[in-house]
């Protein structure tokens, strides 16, 4: 039996249980369901649970989430699928979807085809000409084969050697996050932080080129400052002791070291007790004393003072045999800007 049902499509019916039911034999039958009078439908709703049918598919069909699939939802699903296929007859056989059945002449069809190929490629089935429900069911397996798996974390997978090296630098500096495949990687916040800090560090490194006072001795500034830092505390201590001797004449002898300590050193091999020798003042303490740069130095500090003289004192203050407290303050002032710049390193 056939009926036009007020459409150009001709339906075929069969009788079962005293009811006339429509045959759904062709893709055209499915596509034209929207035009079939719903009085002729056997049922207008079915539950999404308790059916021998893929649960995830039923959930997708249930667009309003009320756990029932109604006629409009079924019609909408058929129309959506039809728009993505070259022929509605592809809907009938079931089983895997041939990739060549997808209508790639439309934007949505192109996206669907690209997505299907990406899933297959991720599963190691790039040469397959079809995709099944099982292929799409395990998102973990799909994402495991993708370098960019949608979790917002970038790993080394799929990156060229240069980017892998950059990724390693980021992880070494800021640590890593674990992506959904269990691999170490970095997220957007880490990338932003790294390059923000790298930019600040680069700006800091370029500062001496913009401000000459940061490098009072040019390329030799680093060596000179290191030499100064080696003896800085000891020289500061020496001039403070000299100030104490000026404050109280009794302090002079006392601040040069206890007599019994020096006598004890005299009984030892001084070559093997350098720490005890170094603990003594760097030079003889007295009111208004200057720091000798050659003779009269504590032997434990002689080499360090010679290094300071060569690297900093002579280039900045000129050749001299001793250094006054005022000249020592002047020498340190030459490196004040450099020291502040070092302290500001990001």
Backbone angles phi, psi at 9, to 5 degrees: -80, 135
CA–CA gap between residue 11 and residue 47 (Å, rounded):
27
Q: Is there a contact between 181 and 143 (Cβ–Cβ < 8 Å)?
A: yes
Q: Is there a contact between 214 and 341 (Cβ–Cβ < 8 Å)?
A: yes
C-alpha atoms less than 13 angstroms from C-alpha of 209 in its C-beta half-sphere: 5
C-alpha atoms less than 13 angstroms from C-alpha of 234 in its C-beta half-sphere: 22
> Per residue in 75-105, pLDDT tens?
999 999 999 999 999 988 888 999 999 999 9
CA 118 to chain centre: 26
pLDDT at 307: 97
pLDDT at 1: 42
pLDDT at 151: 79
Q: Where are the domains of the chain?
A: 2-94, 151-207, 213-343
Query: What are the average pLDDT values for consecutive 10-residue runs of the chain, which has 346 residues?
Result: 59 85 89 90 89 86 92 92 91 89 92 91 88 82 68 83 91 89 87 92 92 92 97 95 87 72 63 71 91 91 96 96 96 96 93
Strand segments, DSSP code E, in the chain are 2-3, 11-16, 19-22, 45-47, 68-70, 97-98, 130-131, 153-154, 177-178, 184-187, 291-292, 322-323
CB neighbourhood size of 38 (10 A): 11
pLDDT at 274: 66
Region at 37 (left for phi over 0; alpha for psi -120 to 50; beta for the rest): beta
CB neighbourhood size of 155 (10 A): 24
pTM: predicted TM-score of the whole model, two decimal places: 0.54
CA–CA gap between residue 119 and residue 126 (Å, rounded):
8
């Amino acid at each position: 039996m056939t009926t036009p049902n007020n459409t150009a499509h001709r339906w075929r019916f069969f009788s079962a249980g005293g009811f006339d039911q429509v045959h759904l034999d062709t893709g055209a039958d499915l596509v034209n369901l929207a035009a079939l009078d719903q009085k002729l439908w056997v049922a207008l709703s079915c539950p999404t649970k308790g059916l021998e049918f893929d649960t995830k598919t039923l959930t997708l069909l249930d667009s309003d989430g009320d756990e029932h699939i109604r006629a409009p939802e079924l019609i909408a699903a058929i129309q959506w699928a039809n728009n993505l296929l070259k022929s509605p007859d592809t809907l009938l056989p079931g089983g895997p979807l041939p990739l060549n059945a997808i209508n790639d002449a439309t934007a949505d069809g192109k996206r669907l085809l690209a997505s299907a190929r990406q899933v297959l490629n991720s599963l190691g089935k790039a040469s397959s000409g079809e995709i099944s429900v099982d292929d799409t069911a395990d998102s973990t397996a799909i994402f495991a084969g993708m370098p960019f798996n949608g979790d917002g974390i970038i790993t080394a997978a799929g990156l060229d050697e240069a980017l892998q090296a950059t990724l390693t630098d980021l992880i070494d500096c800021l640590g890593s996050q674990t992506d959904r495949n269990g691999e170490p990687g970095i997220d957007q916040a880490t990338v932003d932080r790294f390059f923000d800090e790298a930019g600040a560090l680069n700006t800091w490194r370029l500062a001496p080129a913009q401000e000459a006072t940061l490098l009072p001795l040019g390329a030799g500034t680093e060596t000179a400052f290191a030499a100064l830092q080696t003896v800085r505390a000891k020289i500061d201590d020496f001039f403070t002791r000299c100030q104490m001797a000026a404050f109280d004449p009794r302090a002079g002898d006392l601040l040069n070291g206890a007599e019994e300590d020096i006598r004890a050193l005299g009984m030892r091999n001084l070559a093997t007790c350098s720490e005890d020798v170094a603990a003594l003042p760097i030079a003889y303490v007295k009111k208004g004393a200057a720091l000798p740069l050659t003779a009269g130095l504590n032997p434990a500090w002689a080499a360090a003072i010679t290094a300071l003289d060569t690297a900093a004192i002579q280039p900045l203050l000129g050749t001299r045999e001793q250094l006054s407290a005022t000249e020592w303050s002047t020498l340190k002032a030459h490196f004040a800007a450099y020291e502040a710049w070092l302290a500001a390193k990001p």
